[in-house]
Chain A
Amino acid sequence: MSLRAFGNWLESTSLSHLIQTTHGAIADIQVVHIICLATLVALALIFSLRIAGRGLAVESLASLAGRFLPAMWTCIALLLLTGSLLIIAEPGRAIANKVFYIKMALVAVAVVITLWLAAVARREPERPRTIHVVAAGLYMLIWAGIIVAGRLIAYSV
């Protein structure tokens, strides 16, 4: 099945039809998507700052990671769920769009870095190592890139 055929099939499903025909559903799903994104970006920022020895530095990295990572994974799961609903509702916006694939590639990289930084936090280094601080900075740039790509999808349909 080609991508176009898959998109057409997705668009013909009853779920896609339900979202398309429910007034305000797409906008409201996007609102939930953005609220989850804002929460995740702030948690990632504070987590990254802590890796660099800043922010909530009075708390140990392992303790902060233990509190923040479950919330971050919950946000990522909700983002994937709401993002999937948006794709099901309007497959044409995503499936044939290069920017969408750039966004998804960045999301995959962000997930891998989250797993890595989580492992670093569990080992709890006494002092932040340069490579971890650089990774934390890169991590935030990747989230910024995901937001930019997400917004540019609308302009490159």
Chain B
Amino acid sequence: MTASTLIPDTLQWLQGTRLAVSISEYWFPFIESLHVITMAIVAGTIFIVDTRLIGLTSTQLPFSYVSERLLPWTWGAFACSVVTGTLMFIGNATGYYGNTAFRVKMVLLLCAGLNMLFFQYVTFRGVSSWDSGRPPAKARLAGAISVGLWCGVIGFGRWIGFTA
């Protein structure tokens, strides 16, 4: 095994494990269904928080209250999505690794995470000044970017099934 073949060889080994074989031969439709349920909760709750951040919905409620009550559901569902997504990946590791839609989905997930971190540690610091009112332009922009990125995650996620 050389450095250039390390990833393909590891994925090939992963795909040949007993767990991977049982997923691809039997469990895949059920794991995929769970993945769609958890992904729907992740993206849907993020849409609700983001539209509050943009200033379109729930404007009578403080932003921090909406995010505080909804984001635990988002994170819980996201953890389940990561587990189910990883199991789906193991079942066809080499196929997903070489799939462009899968790679774009992973990049968009990373961008969504970075957008969330930037918002949390930079923009959110001044939340007390706009919590019950209209959020500043940079917060609204973060919300709009987040909605776009998560629509992209769903879109490219679905396209994996048509191209893998």
Contacts and interface: CB of A to CB of B under 8 A. Distances in A.
Interface of A: 24, 26-28, 30-31, 34-35, 37-43, 45-46, 55-59, 67, 144, 147-148, 150-152, 154-155
Interface in B32-62: 32-33, 36-37, 39-45, 47-48, 57-58, 60-61
Contacts of B47: 38-39, 42
A45 B44 contact: yes
B61 A42 contact: no
B80 interface: no
B39 A38 contact: yes
A56 B45 CA distance: 12
Interface stretch (B1-9, B11-19, B133-141, B151-159): B151-159
Contacts of A148: 30, 33, 37
Closest A-B pairs by Cβ, 8 of them: A42-B44, A38-B40, A38-B43, A148-B33, A38-B44, A41-B40, A151-B33, A31-B155
Given A43-B48, A147-B36, A34 B41 contact: no
A65 B70 CA distance: 17
Contacts of B154: 31, 34-35, 38
A35 B147 CA distance: 11
B29 interface: yes
A58 B36 CA distance: 30
A46 B61 contact: no
Contact of A147 (B33, B65, B69): B33
A45 to B, nearest CB: 6
A42 B48 contact: yes
Given A42-B47, A151-B29, A56 B69 contact: yes
B119 interface: no
Contacts of A57: 69
B66 interface: yes
A114 to B, nearest CB: 16
A59 B60 contact: yes
B121 interface: no
